Structure 1
Amino acid sequence: MIAADSKCRVCRRVGQKLFLKSDKCFSPKCTLVKKSYPPGIHGRKILKRRRSVLSEYGLQLKEKQRLKFFYGLREKQFSRYIQEATGKKGVDSAVLISKILELRLDNAVFRLGFAKSRSSARQLVSHGHIVVNGRKITIPSYRLKKGDEIAVRPQSFDKKVFSDLDLILKKYNPPAWLKLDKTKKIGQVASFPGLDAIPPDVDINAIIEFYSR
């Protein structure tokens, strides 16, 4: 999990918006809009070096960092997911990586529109505001299965964090692999997420090669 005061620095470090701070990322107040160079006193020099050709290792490292930060994961957990996906024979490792990352409970809560960011979704889960198949789950990394139902705990409807949820859901549509009852605030894993769930500009194969060294 990335500390709140570090999120903008993370985006500046990888040189791309990762949408870690929900609304601010879509506004002119976004730090990356104001400061497009990496953080630190040598940030501008680093940006100049970036514009030169990166080594193969440098490119792989950059892709790894981007995807890891996109999902807000620590290195140990992220690398474990990659090793799990690449260790299974007879399956497309890239597709399996997408499936593992997207089926995390905190990610599904975000994808359903119940939270404005993955970090916020993680807090909702940890604080007991989310139920899976009617049972309260407080583990953000909990892995969902096809058919699982994810819902806002009825006792939490009156919490301030959900005060504008009805308005948000009215304008929101989740990805195709999720079904959503906007009135009851219940979602369901209708199918397995595919590779298209991951940002299209991320090179999954480069990440796989990075961890195969």
Structure 2
Amino acid sequence: MSKRQSQKYKIDRRMGENLWGRPKSPINSRPYGPGQHGQRRKGKLSDFGLQLRAKQKLKGYYGNITEKQFRRIYTEAQRLRGNTAEQLIGLLESRLDAIVYRAKFVPTVFAARQFVNHGHVKVNGQRVNIPSYRVKPGDVVEVREKSRSMALVLEALESPERDIPEYIDVDAKGMKATYVRIPEFAEVPYAAQMEPNLVVEYYSS
């Protein structure tokens, strides 16, 4: 098992939920935490525990985002006008690796980060290899011509596992995706329940 895959499944088991809705997730057959104490009955979480869990779930969902990066995104969301929880989701969904994942150019968010890092993606015709790059509405994200025959890309595009959300317009044949608009939280197709309002409470407390 690759490091990326084992890490992804570790997050699933730690959270006790199938975060990405993957059929191979071990949580489907072992709905309890990892380790020898994983099957112990869990006590009721405190308010802080619920907030921390919500933050860890949301951070874990977007792959290898560090605590420092996530805190920076939250601080930026706080500065923007409007609902902080909505702004936080909008900023997370505007990341280049998130767009590549949502457009189904790759099968997982972890693969999206690696795919961008290795220079397989262009934004508005320019090669970009920074996963956290902020994509703006109207920007066109495409798979580089040399990378379009990769098995990873072809398998992901053909997979019936996920639907492409309405805020991304995908030309599967041309392997291009236009970021139509910044989504609202209700539009984002999370496989598990996310609670960005609790994340805001966690950082505000």
TM-score past 0.5 threshold: yes
Q: CA deviation at 1:198?
A: 6.2
8 Å contact kept, 1:147–1:189: yes
Give secondary structure in 1 for the equivalent of 2:194.
Answer: coil
Written as runs of structure 1 = structure 2, the 5 A alignment for 1:15-164 is 15-19=16-20, 25-27=22-24, 30-45=25-40, 48-49=41-42, 52-72=43-63, 73-88=65-80, 90-164=81-155
Q: CA deviation at 1:32?
A: 1.1
Distance 1:12 1:86 in 2: 31
Uncovered stretches (5+) of structure 2, i.e. residues with no partner = none
Q: CA deviation at 1:97?
A: 0.6
- Report the TM-score when normalising by structure 1: 0.85
Distance 2:14 2:77 in 1: 27
Q: CA deviation at 1:121?
A: 1.0
8 Å contact kept, 1:14–1:66: yes
Q: Percent identity?
A: 33
- Structure with higher RCO (Cα < 8 A, 6+ apart): 2
Compared with structure 1, are the counterparts of its residues 57 and 94 closer, same or farther at alpha carbon in structure 2 (3 Å cutoff)?
same
Give the paired residue count: 200
Compared with structure 1, are the counterparts of its residues 54 and 195 closer, same or farther at alpha carbon in structure 2 (3 Å cutoff)?
same
Q: CA deviation at 1:53?
A: 2.4
Compared with structure 1, are the counterparts of its residues 156 and 43 closer, same or farther at alpha carbon in structure 2 (3 Å cutoff)?
same
Distance 1:164 1:126 in 2: 20
8 Å contact kept, 1:98–1:198: no
- Report the TM-score when normalising by structure 2: 0.88
Uncovered stretches (5+) of structure 1, i.e. residues with no partner = none
Q: CA deviation at 1:34?
A: 2.6
Written as runs of structure 1 = structure 2, the 5 A alignment for 1:188-207 is 188-196=178-186, 197=188, 199=190, 201-207=193-199
- Counterpart check, 1:210 vs 2:202: yes
Tell me the residue number matched to 2:15: 14
